[in-house]
Structure 1
């Protein structure tokens, strides 16, 4: 079984972004059989699986999620292919692939010169959001905000060692953090929107990866209603699990048929500009993509 440290060593973020991008292209092409995520105990236990027709390989991930535990996520990833099987710790796989999909979406939707990132949340997912955006855009400044001030400082201490050329700052509020951003990454467990749409610049790309239950919401309804485009990892998954998408569709602020899946968007990229949104609840094809890298490199 590959440990978390071994997973991290084997998958640099740029490679993860490339692998996840390819997986979403294959997903759009119908290469994956990907059942809906199984959720038990109000999201405290999750099971995800994907089978790739072209390779005959499958990945199955089981997770235990306890938001008041550190780490909040524990789990195992199993990769099975005609040539053998691999088992890996799922914590690093989950955070890396969640960062990677934000990297894919940012590369698709943010201006090429985007250099200012705001990150809301300082939990286990936050560092890989920074790593992923830094892999696709020339970041010069990162502003972070979290209700847990000490956690933000710890995160900045880690990131400064990795990115000495980037200026890291702490914002007093979420609205302050996003006010001058080119890219925003939300990685929280919030049940209400974490910033006001009016605080955003006119041209900004927003990634939201924290919420994965109908009761959770990170994004304001006004942003979803006014965004030039709202891209999701998978429409059916978001309509089951993404609280902000479910809410906006139910109130009529957002039309379900206006949602664009990431795999489709990659085949016909639009020009950047205005306010754009990417919402992800996580799909098994992402886990499959990283499991394949691990299998190839061990």
Structure 2
């Protein structure tokens, strides 16, 4: 059987909509299959299977920490989309590109529900592909966002990202971790293993999202922030297994609200304390975005067949 090679062309807003549809359709995020992590000499291999509705799929991804120094992507891999009822292969997608799209889309979906209506100032930790993707995804769902402060270890990439944001019409600058004191939104897209900033500085009005790790021994935010904030996660079970930001701060399941509860309106959102969203990545997210991309390609093909007579 020939498997179609499908290019990922969905925009950020479409990816957010695909994730939202999956949750509104009743996906049980707590019952989704766990990710398999296998350590290898170059890093780790991830196997991420999922099935929902008309489709199933699996992502095989590699995380190679040394790759960026050699000019190679840190995340590699492929995604195989399957027909749900028969498990026949339908399409093959670039796994790294899929990860680069769905991760910011997950954050944007959560932040849209958590941010104050007048949120304008984003403090963005990191200057790599995920940082850029998050900037673009947040702009797609928060039209009032008009200022960004980039905080990164390396001045060159930080300045490049700030210049790119300025070119897109934002008030953009390179800053320091203390910039969180004036933030409406804080997003952490780094490989840091220790906290990036003092959680006591984060204003009550702010939303903080951390996406950089899925390891129990790594965190981007400190226990001070976790202790002050209302806590939101993709799924409680996964967070308590993989989210070092929460585990190292001693946060228990009783404090965690999952993404399905947030998106469907079952969770209350308060604005008198910080809201913290911790993402580790789940297989259902890849499936939702891959399926939306495949459906879009199929619609275009159907139109072309009709036009051809």
Q: Using the TM superposition, give the Cα deviation of residue 63 of structure 1 relative to its aligned residue in structure 2, in angstroms.
A: 0.7
Q: Is the 8 A contact 1:179 1:199 kept in 2?
A: yes
1:265 aligns with 2:262: yes
Find the counterpart in structure 1 of residue 241 from structure 2: 240
Does the residue aligned with 1:40 lie in a helix, a strand or coil?
A: strand
Map 1:148-159 onto structure 2 (within 5 A).
Answer: 148-159=154-165
Find the counterpart in structure 1 of residue 307 from structure 2: none
Bigger Cα displacement from structure 2, 35-44 vs 14-23: 35-44
The alignment covers a number of residue pairs equal to 282
How far apart, in 2, do the equivalents of 1:217 and 1:269 lie? 25
Find the counterpart in structure 2 of residue 198 from structure 1: 200
How far apart, in 2, do the equivalents of 1:135 and 1:20 lie? 15
Does the residue aligned with 1:217 lie in a helix, a strand or coil?
A: coil
Find the counterpart in structure 2 of residue 290 from structure 1: 289
Q: Using the TM superposition, give the Cα deviation of residue 256 of structure 1 relative to its aligned residue in structure 2, in angstroms.
A: 2.1
Does the residue aligned with 1:270 lie in a helix, a strand or coil?
A: coil
How far apart, in 2, do the equivalents of 1:297 and 1:272 lie? 37
How far apart, in 1, do the equivalents of 2:29 and 2:221 lie? 31
Match of 2:181 among 136, 161, 179: 179
1:167 aligns with 2:171: yes
Map 1:85-234 onto structure 2 (within 5 A).
Answer: 85-137=90-142, 138-161=144-167, 163=168, 165-171=169-175, 173-176=176-179, 178-227=180-229, 229-234=230-235
Q: Is the 8 A contact 1:110 1:272 kept in 2?
A: no
C-alpha change, 1:32 and 1:60, in structure 2 (3 Å) is farther
How far apart, in 2, do the equivalents of 1:30 and 1:232 lie? 14
Does the residue aligned with 1:297 lie in a helix, a strand or coil?
A: helix
Give unpaired runs (5+ residues) of structure 2. Answer: 298-309
How far apart, in 1, do the equivalents of 2:22 and 2:155 lie? 36
Find the counterpart in structure 1 of residue 252 from structure 2: 255
Map 1:45-124 onto structure 2 (within 5 A).
Answer: 45-52=45-52, 54-55=53-54, 57-70=55-68, 71-81=73-83, 85-124=90-129
Q: Using the TM superposition, give the Cα deviation of residue 97 of structure 1 relative to its aligned residue in structure 2, in angstroms.
A: 0.6
How far apart, in 2, do the equivalents of 1:216 and 1:226 lie? 20
How far apart, in 2, do the equivalents of 1:295 and 1:94 lie? 16
Post-superposition Cα deviations, 1:265-295, rounded to whole Å, max 9, x if no partner, equal: 2222424412101001001111011111111
Q: Is the 8 A contact 1:108 1:269 kept in 2?
A: no
How far apart, in 2, do the equivalents of 1:213 and 1:199 lie? 25
Match of 2:28 among 2, 11, 30: 30
Bigger-Rg structure (1/2):
2
C-alpha change, 1:160 and 1:189, in structure 2 (3 Å) is same
Q: Is the 8 A contact 2:80 2:89 kept in 1?
A: no
TM-score for both structures, normalised by structure 1: 0.89
Post-superposition Cα deviations, 1:97-136, rounded to whole Å, max 9, x if no partner, equal: 1000111111111112111111101122111111121112
Q: Using the TM superposition, give the Cα deviation of residue 221 of structure 1 relative to its aligned residue in structure 2, in angstroms.
A: 0.5
How far apart, in 2, do the equivalents of 1:182 and 1:152 lie? 20
Q: Using the TM superposition, give the Cα deviation of residue 92 of structure 1 relative to its aligned residue in structure 2, in angstroms.
A: 1.5
How far apart, in 1, do the equivalents of 2:286 and 2:28 lie? 17
TM-score for both structures, normalised by structure 2: 0.86
